[in-house]
A and B are shown apart, each in its own frame.
Chain A
Amino acid sequence: MRAFLACPVLLLCGCVSSGIVTHRLPDETPAADNAASIKKAEGLAATKKTVEMQEKSSTEPPPLTPADAPPMSTYDPWERFNRFNYRLNARFDEAVFFPVANGYRHLPSPIRTGVNDFFDNLAEIDSIINYTLQGRLGRGVRSLGRFVINSTLGLAGLFDVATHFHLEKAPTGFGTTLAKWGMHPGPYLVIPILGPSTLREAVGLLGDYGTSYGINVADLYRGDQGWGLGVLNAVDKRAGVDFRYYSTGSPFEYDTIRFLYVRKLLLQDAGLHKTQAPKPPSGAPAGE
């Protein structure tokens, strides 16, 4: 673990090779990907249809108008600090995080799926608590059902059996709970190693980790294996994301990521308020 922490420091010293560097990426699977796209396209058509039907229902809050859209620029009072962290993360990712995750991706897919399902299953506990705090009890019960089924039939979460019973994965966390309680995302924040966030989401992250640490299921978080599991979880999550720092090549990448990240958060926030009691058409605009 100490070596793990020392890496960013070494990187800052600029020990980056100047010769030819190669990475053997995992094989692409175009045939399977395309079959999946065809299937997805059918799903998308269905989604679009449901949405069009739902839009006709009158119990919804009034739709957002362009005037309700948040400004294009993002509140980023700590920009220099954030940009420093973004560069740090890029260097760390290129030298350590990505190569490790890339190696991990060469493991057989059943192993990786098992690891992924295991950690997702542990996260269900946090989801149950937060759905309850959000007052979305139906979803809380769904997470509880998933946790019970996957912890037993799914052999301690290694298999996601619940999805076969039409209980799809729908994780949530304390950041979303804070949003549901009406808290604004707050200033943009780039966290070392982890990446883009805002103040609210960072607090949410601490809340989620505190919850897991406090409950300490099967002594997984406080025991000696806690660090190892944490690293495995991080590598598993990184391996699941098809992103490379500066793959856009653009000097505006920081700005682009900031824009997309915060816009996505604001979209989700706007979505959270859809279950509120319908407001009169002349009422305050929906969303934050």
Chain B
Amino acid sequence: MKFLLFAALTLALARSAAGDADHGAPIVRPTVRGPATGLADSAALRATVFGTPPQDIAPMPDTVPVLEIDIPMPWRQKVPGIFWYDKKLRVWFSGQNKPAPLVIVIAGTGDDGNSSSVATLRGALYGDGYHVLTVPSPTFPRFIVAASRTGVAGDLKQDGQDLYDSIERIVAHLPRKVRISDIDIVGYSLGGANAGIVKSIDTREGRLHIHRAVMIEPPVSLFASMERLDKLFAQSIGSGDAGVERLYQRLFAQLANFYRASDRVEIDQSFLLAAAAAVLTTDQEFSAAIALSFRIDLMNLFLAGDIYAKTGAIADPNHPLEVGQPLEHIEEELRTKPFDDYFTEVFAPYYLKHRPHSTPASLIADNNLNIIGPALSSDLDYYVQTNSDDLILNQAELEWLKSTLGSRIAVYDHGGHLGNLGDRRQVADMLDMLAGRWQGGS
């Protein structure tokens, strides 16, 4: 039975590695300095990789109840064989025992609705007296398969509509004893942009009556950011699979040497954390970690989109991938494919066909937060939190957010991308914004 523990521990490691590597979103190449403060990028990259230090985390409640809900969506398309396990959308709900406002939390790029970032927000919100419903990013494979109408993720409007309809259905099926007095929405990274779009759809359709939206470190121009990420990958890892292999070999050797020297018997999560801190030391290594974790998210998105859109870029539409078939050659091919390929080979062909009068340029223009610019500037229930050294924003985008939101934006000096999610200041401001008592930055 010892083996079971061993196997199980490894599985746990796999999960922690998969879960904690997800820092979400598109990243600008590191040569761009933090716009407002001029902080060295090193600090922003480091914060992005390691996240908020535990001693800076906001006060958390002792216990948070969590209900896991698997719910089918009636508009789901026919599920491709290799996604057989993703038929229902999985979401998580933490309910108060009394009537309370509900906060819906949308995860960032490639994240499930139960990632470590989501859990941090859930703790903070539940502790402040909210019911909390957490949902995956529309770029998460299970969402794509179980709740997307197109299977081609990454379009702000389409993803927003799929999210909105899913949330309406989930809220209608929450346990009967749950009494909801008000509904607010929060999202981080790409989920921040999704949250804003969902609120704007609700303003038009009025089925949920979402009150306030807090968008935490959202991107402004989705595809411009993604292309900068491709450059980050090329700069820090190199193009093609050889670069990934070189990175792997270097990390393996460093980890092995660290393990030998550390006199530890088990390779567990705390070992990996210590090892990561020892092994990842240069800006190039931080950049590589960020670029690679995004590429791994992109691989799932790419394959799913290709199969649903039947573009044939990866899988032959006439010979669908079978359950149980080896996928290593596909994995290798996808590792070398940047976001730019996803756009030109899958995303654009699909949406150009399904949206009359659209052009590649119009698709790019539509995937910008400025499509809800008027609402962001005139509706006083939208709030934004961001960092002046956030890697996913450039100076012009940050300025656009500041001028559009006016007094409803909090800009922190340091944190990179999501490197201050859950810290005392961010949480306190978020709670003030949700309660409508935020007085503006000091």
Contact = CB atoms under 8 A, between A and B. Distances in A.
Contacts of B277: 44, 48
Contacts of B303: 251
B262 interface: yes
Interface in A234-249: 234, 237-238, 240-249
Contact of A21 (B70, B85, B245, B262): B70
B259 A270 contact: yes
B14 A252 contact: no
A271 interface: yes
Interface string A208-246: 110000000000000000000010011001101111111
- Residue of A19, A32, A251 most packed against chain B (CB within 10 A): A251
Interface string A247-266: 11111101111001101101
Interface in B353-407: none
B206 interface: no
Contacts of B120: 30
A170 interface: yes
Contacts of A194: 3-4, 7
Contacts of B82: 251
Given A209-B1, A249-B112, A271-B256, A69 B248 contact: yes
Interface in A198-216: 201-202, 204-205, 208-209
- Residue of A47, A172, A201 most packed against chain B (CB within 10 A): A47
B119 A28 contact: yes
Contacts of B12: 241-243
Interface stretch (B29-37, B54-62, B197-205, B221-229): B54-62
Interface string B233-274: 000000000001110111011011111111111110011011
A237 B12 CA distance: 12
Nearest to A40: B270
B294 interface: no
A25 to B, nearest CB: 4
Contact of B1 (A26, A175, A234, A266): A234
A270 B256 CA distance: 6
A27 B64 contact: yes
Contacts of B17: 260
Interface stretch (B98-106, B158-166, B323-331, B432-440): B323-331
A80 interface: yes
Contacts of A38: 54-55
B6 A201 contact: yes
B86 interface: yes
- Residue of A51, A55, A79, A263 most packed against chain B (CB within 10 A): A51
B171 to A, nearest CB: 13
A255 B331 contact: yes
Contacts of A109: none
B265 A63 contact: no
Interface in B295-333: 299-300, 303, 321, 323-328, 331
B301 to A, nearest CB: 10
Given A41-B55, A247-B15, A79 B1 contact: no
Contacts of A66: 246, 249-250, 252-253
Given A40-B270, A173-B3, A237-B8, A251 B327 contact: yes
A123 B60 contact: no
A34 B57 contact: yes
Interface string B5-25: 111111111110110000000
B129 interface: no
B199 to A, nearest CB: 26
B72 A243 contact: no
B11 A27 contact: no
A282 interface: no
Contact of A55 (B252, B257, B327): B257
Contacts of B246: 66
Nearest to A243: B11
A27 B273 contact: no
A10 interface: no
B274 A48 contact: yes
A278 interface: no
22 contacts: A25-B66, A27-B66, A29-B62, A32-B62, A37-B54, A41-B54, A64-B256, A69-B248, A69-B252, A72-B248, A80-B325, A201-B6, A243-B8, A243-B14, A249-B300, A251-B327, A256-B14, A257-B11, A260-B17, A266-B252, A266-B256, A287-B256
Interface of B: 1-15, 17-18, 53-55, 57, 59-72, 82-83, 85-86, 88, 112, 114, 119-120, 122-123, 127, 136, 140-143, 145, 173, 244-246, 248-250, 252-253, 255-267, 270-271, 273-274, 277-278, 299-300, 303, 321, 323-328, 331
Given A23-B68, A80-B324, A252-B327, 19 more contacts: A28-B63, A28-B64, A28-B66, A30-B119, A31-B62, A41-B53, A48-B277, A64-B252, A64-B256, A69-B253, A83-B325, A171-B2, A175-B3, A195-B7, A238-B8, A249-B143, A251-B141, A270-B256, A270-B259
Interface of A: 18-34, 37-38, 40-41, 43-44, 47-48, 50-52, 54-55, 60-61, 63-70, 72-73, 79-80, 83-84, 87, 90, 119, 123, 126, 170-173, 175, 191, 194-197, 201-202, 204-205, 208-209, 230, 233-234, 237-238, 240-252, 254-257, 260-261, 263-264, 266-268, 270-271, 274, 287
